[in-house]
Structure 1
């Protein structure tokens, strides 16, 4: 039981670390994400999984086009 609690706590802490890292990277690529936000809908910690998947798919699609992978 205690191990499960520690595991859950670690996952929550890691999620905040990942969110902070993502915000820093988004700042560095601000123009890309502004265009993506205007086309899709800005993500938040309250976004649904469906919204997250659609957002990521669109972003990956653009990156593949830019890298001439499509």
Structure 2
């Protein structure tokens, strides 16, 4: 089970995959599921401002660079 949450630990997206899958393979589909509704008019937000992940996720880092977002390593 893979979970994306905000800074207050509220779930934004969840993805259930086989246990043998590496986190970096599942990170991209997980981030693509994020939809945060806006308070007023406009489309839902689907890109996080920051992502915190382990250092072994170079595929995730490349994906975030293509989307134009900051990537922090924990």
Higher relative contact order (CA 8 A, sep 6+): 2
TM-based fold match above 0.5:
no
Give the TM-score normalised by the residue count of structure 1. Answer: 0.32
**Structure with more of its chain in helix, by fraction:** 1
**Structure with more of its chain in strand, by fraction:** 2
Between structure 1 and structure 2, the one with the greater Rg is 1
Give the TM-score normalised by the residue count of structure 2. Answer: 0.31
